[in-house]
């Protein structure tokens, strides 16, 4: 019985944190897998495609990320239970990111910072939070925590999910039939969807044109989008075009079609566009290691693992 920590980043950190918890089995680090027949568990974050399929006795995969699109895109991914990472620390950090970006745009900070750079003392009309409608796409762990954080500021809140959800204080919509009505009453759109075949490219120009354009002066001069889900959810050329044409007033983007975002991307220097390097929510190695060992322990005891990914659904 052996745990293999495998992936593209922070492998030694996760392995060190797992060993510190003194598990009753060996912890190895890719690519030093040793005798691959020993490996029964994998803690994975962006492993090379095909690598997990080389492990003949693998019983369980634990994803370092909440999002598992990177694992599921490997057609050779072994058909063993896959647990994704869910943790209050991760959700809390996402809620901080989302609240900070909503406040940043609602309080017109991009324009105020631009004025400061030019030493301009000028009044900028800021809408009150109670007059701004924030719509959250994805009502799971990340979306739920973000909405709870936003509730404290008094925004008008709405949410959109695949299946019906009920959240106190939030007007909920679902499915393709609910999308237009959801968008029509949204001034600031937050996306924390998983990347699946159904959601790929959903943040496109056609969708931006369905966002609220009513009451702009009481609210914001135009709609704003915030994407902390995955880069594959957004069509970057459409974001650039929509910002330039004024169909979008601003954007905060934490994730990109290509990461790191290439220096040639126009997104780096568009007005009211905030670029962050995929850090909206990142958990510590000790929390991830503890979560992984808990799933292994559950698996060994014959208990259901937590947060098992539904591969047919894609999240
Ligand atoms: P959950 O599985 O808990 O929630 C996913 C939500 O998305 C659910 O409400 C689900 O609907 C909804 N959804 C899925 N597919 C569709 C669809 N086709 N149409 C409408 N709604 C849909 O995931 P988490 O909240 O934990 O994580 C969400 C994503 O956030 C991750 O997959 C990852 O990509 C991203 N993330 C990014 C981080 C960062 O640092 N930038 C950090 C952590 C996560 P339903 O409720 O009906 O199931
Ligand atoms: C995740 C992420 O999915 O950090 O957890 O992007």
Round to whole Å and give the CA distance between 129 and 102: 10
Atom 2 (ligand 2) nearest CA: 65
**Is the Cβ atom of 282 under 6 angstroms away from ligand 2?**
yes
Q: What is the pLDDT along the chain (315 residues), one digit of tens a residue?
A: 999 999 988 999 999 999 999 999 999 999 999 999 999 999 999 999 999 999 999 999 999 999 999 999 999 999 999 999 999 999 999 999 999 999 999 999 999 999 999 999 999 999 999 999 999 999 999 999 999 999 999 999 999 999 999 999 999 999 999 999 999 999 999 999 999 999 999 999 999 999 987 656 578 999 999 999 999 999 999 999 999 999 999 999 999 999 999 999 999 999 999 999 999 999 899 999 999 999 999 999 999 999 999 999 999
**Is the Cβ atom of 255 under 6 angstroms away from ligand 2?**
no
Distance 174 CA to ligand 2 centre (A): 24
Residue located via tokens 């060994």: 300
Measure Cα distances from 163 to 166, 170, 204, 239 in Å.
10, 15, 22, 27
Atom 35 (ligand 1) nearest CA: 229
The ligand 2 atom at the shortest distance from the C-alpha of residue 68 is 3
Distance 199 CA to ligand 1 centre (A): 10
Distance 87 CA to ligand 1 centre (A): 14
Atom 26 (ligand 1) nearest CA: 141
Round to whole Å and give the CA distance between 58 and 68: 18
Identify the nearest ligand to the CA of 141 by its number: 1
């Amino acid at each position: 019985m052996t745990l293999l920590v495998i992936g593209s980043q922070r492998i030694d950190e996760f392995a060190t944190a797992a060993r510190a918890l003194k598990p009753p089995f060996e912890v190895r680090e890719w690519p030093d897998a040793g005798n691959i027949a020993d490996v029964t568990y994998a803690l994975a974050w962006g492993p090379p495609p095909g690598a997990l399929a080389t492990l003949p006795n693998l019983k369980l995969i634990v994803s370092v990320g909440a999002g598992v699109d990177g694992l599921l895109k490997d057609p050779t991914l072994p058909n063993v239970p896959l647990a994704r990472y869910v943790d209050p620390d991760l959700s809390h950090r996402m809620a901080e990111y989302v609240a900070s970006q909503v406040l940043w745009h609602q309080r017109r900070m991009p324009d105020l910072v631009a004025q400061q750079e030019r030493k301009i003392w000028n009044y900028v009309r800021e809408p009150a939070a109670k007059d701004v409608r924030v719509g959250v796409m994805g009502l799971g762990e990340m979306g739920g925590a973000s909405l709870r954080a936003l509730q404290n500021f008094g925004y008008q809140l709405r949410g959109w999910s695949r299946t019906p959800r009920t959240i106190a204080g939030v007007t909920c919509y679902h499915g393709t039939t609910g999308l237009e009505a959801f968008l029509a009453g949204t001034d600031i759109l937050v996306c924390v969807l998983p990347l699946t075949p159904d959601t790929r490219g959903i943040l496109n120009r056609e969708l931006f044109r369905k966002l609220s354009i009513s009451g702009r002066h009481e609210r914001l001069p135009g709609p704003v989008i915030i994407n902390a889900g995955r880069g594959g959810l957004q069509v970057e050329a459409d974001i650039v075009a929509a910002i330039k044409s004024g169909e979008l007033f601003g954007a905060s983007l934490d994730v990109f079609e290509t990461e790191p975002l290439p220096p040639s991307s126009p997104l780096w220097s568009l007005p009211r566009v905030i670029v962050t390097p995929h850090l909206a929510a990142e958990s510590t190695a000790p929390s991830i290691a503890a979560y992984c060992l808990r799933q292994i322990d559950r698996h060994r005891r014959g208990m259901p693992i937590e947060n098992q990914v539904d591969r047919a659904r894609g999240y």
